[in-house]
Amino acid sequence: MELQKVEIMAAFCGQLHENNVEISVENIKKGKSLIAKQNFEEGDVLFEERPVVSSQFLWNEFYKYTACEYCLRSLETAENQSRRLTENEALTLPYPECDETKPSQYVKCPQCQVTYCCQECQKNAWKEYHQILCMGSSKEDENHPLYKLQDMWRNIHFPPESCSIMLIAKMIALVKQSTKKCEVLEKFSRFVKTTVNEEEALVHKMMGEKFQEPLELLRQQVTEILFEDAVQSWFTPEGFQSLFAIVGRNGQGIGSSSISSWVKNCEKLELSQEKKEELDLFIDTLYEELENVSGSFLDCEGSGLYLLQSTCNHSCLPNAEITFPYNNNIMSVIAKEKIASGQEICISYLSECDMSRSRHSRQKYLKENYLFVCQCPKCLSEADEPDVTSDEEEEDMDDDGDQ
């Protein structure tokens, strides 16, 4: 799919040109919105975007999901990743030419030995934030302040993670290391702000019932390591909570997988019908083994903040979807149907499974996790349905069947 030029209206100031997407200023009652300025067909790429900042989840890193520190590209070969996740060291993948990983191009930080997928990623990280966050030769030193911070986070936020303290640390390091601090701060200022009560609700959701004490411990540790005069307010209890709220409301999950890339490339092979059926059976069996051993944790997962994506409103009938086609943190937003010029571009904040649940279930999830009541066409059309979750509906059906 060829990336097209599209003009997008967004409710924040200034102009930004990135990946052939133009943002222009408009006053929109919703506070944020993306409106297509040309017609799109199903399957068209609406825009592509790199994150302002992204980070792999610490538990994924701990469990040896190796990813580029900068772009989150999966660094294991598809075969090695398959062997690890199926716990089958004898597993061999056919068509190794479909594996996109290039270990010969990997480079490490000379000081802390963090791995990058290529020299460009290493240079970008060093230029943007890594000079501040580099742990030098003491990367595995349990007494190093950053090591303590990461260990503290893992003890507070058990998997599955929805955020990472290192995402917060990178936000601070971007400001601290920059010679143009105002430009970096201006980017962060574009993300949707929330009220104090909303911020507390978001942090409460991320950190659990007793979030205040661990949040304060994290704040003290981050302040000790990374304090920066230009953003003094970020290190106050209220400001630190606001950082987490920004991530809680705007953070986008990122998944990269060498296995997924290998499968995608296998699908492009020109094979005989017999060979194709044989390959399809192998892939189906592989995914069954992966599911049995590793469950749903198959990706080098992380999260990031994206300026354009953060202005996309939710719909339970979205006309666009988010993909990560390059096995890294570059996001593509694809049209799921025809989109006319002047039409709002909407994505879903729900998983495919949650999309099929009842209106009340969907709204309950969105209210708890994003603090809004969905008024999309699908929810409005189902307004007369009973206010019960899908689970409650299933329980009622089971009770009826027993009578």
Using CA of residue 266, residue 318, residue 345, residue 39, what is the dihedral sign? positive
Query: On the CB side of 118, how many CA atoms lie within 13 Å of its CA?
Result: 8
How buried is residue 159: exposed, middle or buried, by Cβ count under 10 Å (0-12/13-18/19+)? middle
**Structure tokens belonging to residue 399:** 């009770």
Q: Is residue 292 part of a domain?
A: no
**Structure tokens belonging to residue 189:** 């200022």
pLDDT at 31: 60
Claim to verify: residue 45 and residue 148 sit in the same structural domain? no
Q: How far is CA 303 from CA 77, 219, 336, in A?
A: 22, 20, 23
Claim to verify: residue 210 and residue 344 sit in the same structural domain? no
pLDDT at 392: 55
Domain boundary among 252, 285, 315: 252
% of the chain with per-residue pLDDT over 70:
88
| DSSP3 helix / strand / coil % (the chain, rounded to 5) | 45, 15, 40
Claim to verify: residue 311 and residue 208 sit in the same structural domain? no
Asked if residue 368 has pLDDT above 90, the reply is no
* CA dist., res. 73 & res. 115, Å (int): 11
* CA dist., res. 49 & res. 7, Å (int): 14
Contact 113, 192 (CB under 8 A): no
> pLDDT confidence of 139, banded at 50, 70, 90?
low
* Long-range contacts of 24-32, Cβ-Cβ distance < 8 Å, separation of 24 or more: 30/313, 31/192, 32/192, 32/310, 32/311, 32/313
Asked if residue 154 has pLDDT above 50, the reply is yes
Contact 48, 1 (CB under 8 A): no
Lowest-confidence region among 13-22, 51-60, 335-344: 13-22
* Residue type (1 letter), 142: E
**Residue 254, strand partner residues:** 302
pLDDT in tens, 212-252: 899 999 999 999 999 999 999 999 999 999 999 999 999 99
Helix H segments across 115-211?
119-125, 131-133, 145-156, 165-177, 181-189, 196-207
Claim to verify: residue 244 and residue 316 sit in the same structural domain? no
Q: Is residue 288 part of a domain?
A: no
Q: What is the residue-averaged pLDDT of the chain?
A: 87
Q: DSSP string of 135-148?
A: -GGGTT-TTSHHHH
Q: Is residue 266 part of a domain?
A: no
* CA dist., res. 110 & res. 162, Å (int): 31
Q: DSSP string of 59-118?
A: HHHHTT--B-TTT--B-S-HHHHHHHHHT-TT---S-GGG----GGG-EE-TTT--EESS
Asked if residue 296 has pLDDT above 90, the reply is no
* CA dist., res. 354 & res. 357, Å (int): 5
Claim to verify: residue 102 and residue 66 sit in the same structural domain? yes
Claim to verify: residue 85 and residue 47 sit in the same structural domain? no
* CA dist., res. 12 & res. 32, Å (int): 8
Q: Is residue 139 part of a domain?
A: yes
Claim to verify: residue 37 and residue 73 sit in the same structural domain? no
Contact 237, 295 (CB under 8 A): no
Q: Which domain holds residue 13?
A: 6-52+306-381
pLDDT at 342: 85
Query: On the CB side of 238, how many CA atoms lie within 13 Å of its CA?
Result: 6
The pLDDT of 97-114, averaged and rounded, is: 96
Claim to verify: residue 65 and residue 203 sit in the same structural domain? yes
Claim to verify: residue 340 and residue 196 sit in the same structural domain? no
Residue with tokens 């349905």: 385
The pLDDT of 85-112, averaged and rounded, is: 97
Q: Is residue 272 part of a domain?
A: no
**Residue 253, strand partner residues:** 303
The pLDDT of 126-149, averaged and rounded, is: 89
pLDDT at 12: 34
Asked if residue 397 has pLDDT above 90, the reply is no
Claim to verify: residue 71 and residue 196 sit in the same structural domain? yes
Report how many domains make up the chain: 2
CATH number for the domain including 47?
A: 2.170.270.10
Claim to verify: residue 37 and residue 136 sit in the same structural domain? no
pTM for the structure as a whole = 0.87
Q: Is residue 395 part of a domain?
A: no
Q: Is residue 259 part of a domain?
A: no
**Structure tokens belonging to residue 5:** 């030029």
Claim to verify: residue 222 and residue 325 sit in the same structural domain? no
Contact 340, 354 (CB under 8 A): no
State the greatest distance between any 2 C-alpha atoms of the chain, in Å, as a whole number: 72
Q: Is residue 138 part of a domain?
A: yes
